[in-house]
Amino acid sequence: MRNLIRTIKQFTSKGGIEGWFAEKYDKFAKEVLIDEYKRIASRTTEQVKKGKVLEIGPGPGYISIELSKIGDFQITGLDISETMIEIAKRNAKETGAEVEFKLGDASNMPFEDNTFDFVVSSGSLHHWKEPIEVFNETYRILKTNGKALIYDLRKNASKGEISKITKKIDSFIIRWGLKHSIKESYTKDKIMELLSKTKFKKSEIKENPIGLEIWLKK
């Protein structure tokens, strides 16, 4: 068991999910999380109807793919994981979605200032090695009055709510990964502390049973 967990940590040691674990996560995302991805895509279209959208940490790419179906967007996904970029491109090709997936570090984004109308991210915040830098980079690449929705797990989610999710997961590996991700995530107060050190002055944080919705405006 210890060797297995050590192997998983190696797959995620660079801040992204790589290799075999990335493929396992893609299967889990497709089977369990797809409705949540559709909800987040819908929440995005409530804020912006067209324009340039960046997804930070798209993983297997399903939010970007859903966005391509329901809005007039030019969509880019930026992920630090080579394997996830490959998976996202494969998934987009299979669905005919027009999304550009790029390999890159969100703490030093390869984009010009004032490029995007909206930034969305789900489930990647707790992976960010330098969260303040990522928030500031998000501010930089957003257009004036541009918005961002950062969704992630909540560190102080109750055991009961976590259990509701884990009961849906057949894979021990993914169950372990979820619990580990919650352990590595943030509370609302900690996010407020981090944001106070960034360029963002307009923010709203909403709690749900297992996660946080962080709304930002430039």
At 39, which amino acid appears? Answer: R
At 19, which amino acid appears? Answer: G
* Residue-level pLDDT at 186: 94
Q: Measuring CA to CA, how many Å separate 111 from each of 56, 77, 78, 83?
A: 12, 12, 10, 22
Output the CA torsion sign for 46, 48, 52, 54: negative
Structure tokens at 125: 């915040």
Look at residues 135, 146, 138, 145 and name the one whose alpha carbon lies nearest to residue 111: 138
Structure tokens at 27: 């299967």
Give pTM, 2 decimals: 0.87
Q: Does domain 2-217 match CATH 3.40.50.150? A: yes
CA–CA distance, 32 with 193 (Å, rounded to integer): 32
Q: Where are the domains of the chain?
A: 2-217
Average pLDDT, the chain: 87
Annotate 8-34 with DSSP letters as a single string. HHHHTTTSS--HHHHHHHHHHIIIIIH
pLDDT along the chain (218 residues), means of 10: 40 58 82 88 90 96 94 94 94 95 96 98 92 98 97 85 70 70 89 97 92 95
* Residue-level pLDDT at 29: 83
161 CB neighbour count, 10 Å cutoff: 14
